[in-house]
């Protein structure tokens, strides 16, 4: 890492204590209204902190969505993946969503030898092409237009039989919007079938948090339920829910009849059957499956189930299916082995520079955000950058279905571990993610979100106080918005709102202020700011710092 050494600043050498970087995941700056859980919550410490930082010109708002975090347009909400990418990379990273859109909608993907060979084999062997992924326009894990583009590409390639396995969202889009997307998909399939005489149908599905899309090995039963529905044609069955239906619409309506308040993300698995009550999309030897999600974290486990022996459930069927990802989801594990689009990667995230300078680093989060504070922060790379100078800690999360009833989550445990380590003075740069704002915001329960905000306020107060005791600096910021825009308790998606950025410096003597020359400050400006506060000049690859030093 000799080529990554940084130049020390002449004007500022940092402080004697640590630099603590505190991420309030999913806490944006929204209108002061009844829909804003952060505004309604009692957060005296953060309220005072923001006021004080504004008075000292150590506060600014950061753009955390759209083009500021590498997404295709400013209509796209930010998310934890792209937010941590931008913060850790010190720049705007062209994201998977943008790469997928460009490749599919331009038609370039369908000109590749990989696509041509795949479709030729399917046609010659009279096999079925399966598409599986999140059916919405949330643009966090997927986009429905990408699926439509893939269907068009398959039709042009003369693939005659396709089955679509729909994972329903209700998390990055309104909580009961699945029928809208199912209707759009059915119209698309009908149009292709009518034009070409093909056999394109929806075969199975379920809610994303109930079926298939587990992450960080939180609950393998989620993946098992997906495998059984998509691959084996076996749905969940209950006394009042038989799991087999003639259409996806019928399945969703049946689940809602059981629980009128159920969010789409928790819908049980379903399987579509023909008039003979046989599953229409059960997979067979020689079939091909394409996962059309572009984001990796919730695609890893299902990819392992298709490609490796490392999966955590007993399979009820195991046909020889050729599996492809839209992109590669995990480079270190080579998952999946077959994919169409090269994923983005950052060669020189901030961690590499700090490793080159032998700066000791500590990162902690509970399971739901552990991958963000490590993998995504480090430019989409698994594991340690330099284990001699880094320590990563994961606090095990409760299952997602427990969050609404336990909105404090593991914030207390995360805070306590962070304080214990801070007291040792072993680490110079320490980062922590509090997952509550985002994860509780996704439940749509504004009362739970208020509780979560109040808990985070208490935890941040203790951390900042301890940092100041140790003569350090604390940065308090966020990666994207969510709980500040909840629409009378029914809005579960992220927002387009900016996020806060505050600096609390134990030894502040007007050496620097917020840099007013940056026209549109964003998350990508954070990396250079961290380096400045540690006493280093930024490298050329980083965007400008959020602070400027007084002459």
Residue with tokens 């944006």: 28
User: How would you classify the pairing of strands 322-327 and 161-168?
Assistant: unpaired
- What gap in Å lies between CA 41 and CA 487, rounded to an integer? 15
Nearest to 323 by CA among 101, 312, 97, 311: 311
Nearest to 475 by CA among 391, 551, 547, 549: 547
Contact 265, 209 (CB under 8 A): yes
**Largest separation between any pair of C-alpha atoms in the chain:** 81
Contact 199, 160 (CB under 8 A): yes
163 - beta bridge partners? 130, 201
Crossing angle (nearest 10°) for helices 144-156 and 178-196: 10
536 - beta bridge partners? 8
Helix (H, G, I), strand (E, B) or coil at 486: coil
- What gap in Å lies between CA 185 and CA 164, rounded to an integer? 9
From 2, 33, 73, 80, active-site residue: 80
Convert 42-66 to b/e letters by CB count within 10 Å (16 or more is b). ebebbeebbeebeeeebbbebbbbb
What does the block give as tokens for 402? 């427990």
> Is residue 2 flagged as an active site residue?
no
Our measurement of the distance from residue 504's CA atom to the centroid of its chain's CA atoms, rounded to an integer in Å, reads: 28
Q: Residue 494: is it exposed, middle or buried by C-beta count within 10 angstroms (0-12/13-18/19+)?
A: buried
391 - beta bridge partners? 362
Contact 229, 270 (CB under 8 A): yes
Write out the catalytic residue numbers. Answer: 80
């Amino acid at each position: 890492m000799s080529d990554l050494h940084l130049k020390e600043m002449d004007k500022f050498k940092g402080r004697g204590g640590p630099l603590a970087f505190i991420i309030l995941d999913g806490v944006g700056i929204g209108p002061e209204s009844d829909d804003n859980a952060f505004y309604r919550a009692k957060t005296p410490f953060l309220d005072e902190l923001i006021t004080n930082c504004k008075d000292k010109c150590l506060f600014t708002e950061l753009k955390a969505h759209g083009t500021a975090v590498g997404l295709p347009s400013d209509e796209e909400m930010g998310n934890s993946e792209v937010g941590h990418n931008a913060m850790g990379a010190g720049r705007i990273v062209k994201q998977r969503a943008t790469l997928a859109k460009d490749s599919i909608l331009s038609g370039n993907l369908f000109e590749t030898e990989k696509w041509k060979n795949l479709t030729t084999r399917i046609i010659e062997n009279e096999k079925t092409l399966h598409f599986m992924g999140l059916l919405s326009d949330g643009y966090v894990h997927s986009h429905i237009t990408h699926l439509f583009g893939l269907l068009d590409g398959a039709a042009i390639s003369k693939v005659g039989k396709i089955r679509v396995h729909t994972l329903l969202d209700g998390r990055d889009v309104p909580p009961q919007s699945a029928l809208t997307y199912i209707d759009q998909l059915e119209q698309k399939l009908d149009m292709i079938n009518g034009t070409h005489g093909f056999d394109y149908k929806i075969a199975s599905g379920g809610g994303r948090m109930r079926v298939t899309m587990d992450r960080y090995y939180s609950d393998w039963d989620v993946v098992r339920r997906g495998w059984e529905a998509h691959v084996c044609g076996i749905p969940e069955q209950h006394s009042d829910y038989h799991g087999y239906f003639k259409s996806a619409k019928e399945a969703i309506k049946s689940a809602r009849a059981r629980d009128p308040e159920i969010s789409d993300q928790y819908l049980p698995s379903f399987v579509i059957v023909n008039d003979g009550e046989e599953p229409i999309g059960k997979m067979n030897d020689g079939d091909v499956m394409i996962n059309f999600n572009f984001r990796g974290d919730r695609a890893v486990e299902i990819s392992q189930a298709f490609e490796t022996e490392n999966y955590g459930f007993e399979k009820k069927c195991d046909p020889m299916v050729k599996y492809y990802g839209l992109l590669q989801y995990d480079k270190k594990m080579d998952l999946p082995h077959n994919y169409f689009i090269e994923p983005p990667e950052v060669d020189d995230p901030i961690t590499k520079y700090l490793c080159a300078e032998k700066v000791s680093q500590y990162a902690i989060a509970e399971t739901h955000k552990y991958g963000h504070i490590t993998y995504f922060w480090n430019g989409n790379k698994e594991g340690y950058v330099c284990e001699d100078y880094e320590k990563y800690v994961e606090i095990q999360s409760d299952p997602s279905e427990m969050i609404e009833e336990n909105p404090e989550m593991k914030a207390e445990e995360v805070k306590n571990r962070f304080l214990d380590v801070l007291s040792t003075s072993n680490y110079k740069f320490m980062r922590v993610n509090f997952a509550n704002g985002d994860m509780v915001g996704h439940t749509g329960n504004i009362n739970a979100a208020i509780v979560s905000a109040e808990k985070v306020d208490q935890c941040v107060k203790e951390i900042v106080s301890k940092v100041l005791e140790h003569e350090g600096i604390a940065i308090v910021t966020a990666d994207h918005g969510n709980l500040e825009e909840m629409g009378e308790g029914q809005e579960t998606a992220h927002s387009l709102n900016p996020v806060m950025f505050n600096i609390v410096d134990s030894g502040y003597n007007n050496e620097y202020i917020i840099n007013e020359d940056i026209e549109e400050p964003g998350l990508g400006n954070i990396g250079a700011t961290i380096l400045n506060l540690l006493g280093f000049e930024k490298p050329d690859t980083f965007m400008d710092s959020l602070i400027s030093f007084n002459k």
